[in-house]
């Protein structure tokens, strides 16, 4: 299978977008100073750079059309557990946040919040599989592969309110 990629200029910096032959997103990640194409995107020199049809939807998201990412096709490869977590991430509505515990409960494994956090961190399709919408139980913006500053910007862009209470918190 051949992969193609594009690099989009966004308000948060360059964003690498990798698709397969069927135009399904395989990787989306911010370029960083530490790694040439972010934590999750390592470009193969054999891949061709070309404008993809999903670039317009991603740029529209940054321009304020927040629902443009919901229907984009993705092809995820991971363990059965990771796939379950990543599918659940796509159900988190724009403008809302979940805690790792809520995400664990959503997949039927309420005691697996640490494992959920690890799977969340391995998400290869940032933004479209919105791992940035998961925060700490206390409302803290815990890690994000693209940098916590980007996570804060994305949540503010989406109008997300900090998580103040959640099931089981006693609040």
Residues annotated as part of the active site: 131
Residues 6+ apart with CB under 8 A from 156: none
DSSP string, the chain: ---EEEEEEETTEEEEEEE-TT--EEEEEE--SSSTTTTT----TTSEE---TTHHHHHHHHTT-TTTTTT--B---S-HHHHHHHHHHTTSPTT--EEHHHHHHHTT-TT-HHHHHHHHHT-SBTTTS-GGGEE-TTS-----TT-HHHHHHHHHHTTPPP----TTS--
């Amino acid at each position: 299978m051949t992969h193609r990629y594009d690099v989009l200029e966004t308000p948060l910096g360059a964003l690498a977008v990798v698709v397969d032959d069927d135009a399904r997103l395989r990787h989306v990640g911010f370029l960083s100073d530490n790694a040439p194409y972010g934590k999750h995107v390592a470009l193969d020199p054999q891949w061709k750079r070309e404008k993809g049809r999903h670039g317009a939807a991603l740029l529209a998201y940054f321009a304020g059309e927040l629902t443009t990412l919901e229907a984009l096709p993705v092809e995820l490869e991971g363990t059965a557990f990771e796939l379950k977590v990543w599918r659940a991430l796509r159900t988190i509505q724009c403008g809302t946040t979940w805690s790792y515990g809520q995400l664990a409960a959503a997949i039927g494994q309420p005691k697996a919040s640490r494992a959920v956090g690890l799977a969340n961190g391995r998400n290869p399709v940032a933004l479209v599989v919105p791992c940035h919408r998961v925060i700490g139980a206390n409302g803290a913006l815990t890690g994000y592969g693209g940098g916590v500053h980007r996570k804060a910007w994305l949540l503010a862009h989406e109008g997300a309110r900090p998580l103040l209470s959640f099931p089981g918190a006693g609040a």
